[in-house]
Amino acid sequence: MVSSGTLLNLLMMRSIREYLRALTVLRADGAGAARPHSRFRANADRAFEFPLLQGARLTAWEMVQERIPVTLVTDNMAGHLMQRGAVDLVVVGADRVAVNGDVVNKIGTYSLAAHHGLPFYVAAPLSTIDLNVPDGNAIPIEERSPAEVTGFRGEHWAPEGVAVMNPAFDMTPAALVTGLITERGVVAPLDADGIRRLFAAT
Catalytic residues: 95
Helix (H/G/I), strand (E/B), else coil: 197: helix
Strand partners, 171: 104
Which residue type, as a one-letter code, is found at position 195? Answer: I
The span from the CA of 127 to the CA of 28, in Å, is: 24
The phi and psi torsions of 169 (rounded to 5 degrees) equal -135, 165
Q: How far is CA 172 from CA 67, 87, 176, in A?
A: 30, 19, 7
Q: Report the C-alpha gap between 125 and 168 in whole angstroms.
A: 20
Q: What are phi and psi of 193, to 5 degrees?
A: -65, -45
